[in-house]
Amino acid sequence: MIIQSKKVWIADQFVPAAIETKDGKIVGIFPYGTKDVDDDYGDKRIVPGFMDIHCHGAYEFDTNDANEEGLRYWAEHIVSEGVTSFLATTITQSVEVLTNAVANVARVMEGGYDGAEILGIHFEGPYLDMKYKGAQPEQFIAKPSVEQFKHYQEAAHGHIRYVTLATEQDDNFELTRYLTSQGIVVSIGHSAATYEQAVMAYANGARSMTHVYNGMTAFNHRANGLVGAAYRIRTMYGEIICDGCHSTPAALNNYFMSKGPDYSIMISDALMAKGTPVGSKYIFGGNEIVIYPDGSAHLTSTGGLAGSTLNINKGLKILVEDAMVPFNYALNACTINPARCLHLDDRKGSIQVGKDADLVVLEDNYDVLQTYCKGQAKL
């Protein structure tokens, strides 16, 4: 198959080009108009497929539900927003629930499914801080444990790729060091850590931060906190929810302009309520949540933010149009940056010969016209 456009994102710029795909890979890239093509998208932008490494569910399915068909439906339909790969993300719960959840993801990954590629599991919790737990149920928050994690990873058939933990709870960085030795990304989140503790965590292997600004110690000019560490440690990846609710457009701009083009990661942090009407109520981690008119999810008990229903293509629009973040910074945040963070940039994150043919065709208003997962049109 060959598709072309006058605006294909290659080498940090839009160029007129044709893309040839075969057996799920990009096998050729040529000047525009030099090949017979299957689809000519004219002036529509073709960009790499989006990656979402922190998303709990959608369409009334949650990763913790451990329902095979729910996960398959999610993977099949998330392509509508341009997502071509994602990490199914857990939330703190009992050992039984989490064991079943990660085992379910492994079954679906190994048993076959359609749509966006499930890259593995983002294990968010239970190794978190009580004060900064957010919507995570406190009765199941636990001390970081290498032995307990080994149990979860065994149930997951080795598919846990990314772990959020409160670094100050990890004695002697034992779990951080173990995860790093296994090639698993350690992300600091739901944490009361100081700036200084974050620097030490980085020195011991932590390489990311979970939903920067939210669930962490704030920045102050004398006590810099985790937000200060996110600004200052330039080579620490940092997820950020780009819905304009969890962080204002000004805060998004400050973060991206401080971080630069290579280490920010856009996430949805989307819940099972994604794709459902305003006012819908669901149980998330044992707590009731309700969807507000702006699409954000809140705890009914306290009104506190509990997650989002963000579509990644809408997040891209918010970053560029509202937060005034440079386009390459914003696009990198949902393509090559998460790919590098997960050590998958040899096959994901950019439009290059030899990489997976994960492509998104965008309308001028950022709506998704077509999504290609490994060369297969999905819309």
Q: How many CA atoms lie within 13 Å of 331's alpha carbon, on the beta-carbon side? A: 22
Helix (H, G, I), strand (E, B) or coil at 374: coil
Instruction: Place 182 in a pLDDT band, splitting at 50, 70 and 90.
Output: very high
Mean pLDDT, range 9-27, rounded to an integer: 98
Looking at 5-14, 84-93, 292-301, which range is the least confident one?
292-301
Whether 294 is catalytic is no
Contact 312, 47 (CB under 8 A): no
CATH class of 51-348: alpha beta
pLDDT of residue 191: 98
Q: Work out the average pLDDT over 287-298.
A: 87
Instruction: Supply the pTM of this predicted model.
Output: 0.96
Band of the pLDDT at 304, cuts 50, 70, 90?
confident
- 123's tokens: 């294990």
Domain residue ranges of the chain, discontinuous segments joined by +: 51-348
Q: Which residue in the list 52, 129, 269, 358 is annotated as catalytic?
A: 269
Q: Are 60 and 272 in contact (CB under 8 A)?
A: yes
User: Does pLDDT of 35 surpass 90?
Assistant: yes
Give residue 303's identity as a one-letter amino acid code. G
The confidence band for 283, taking pLDDT boundaries of 50, 70 and 90, is confident
Q: Name the percent of the chain in helix, strand, coil, to the closest 5.
A: 30, 30, 40
Q: Per residue in 46-70, pLDDT tens?
A: 999 999 999 999 999 999 999 999 9
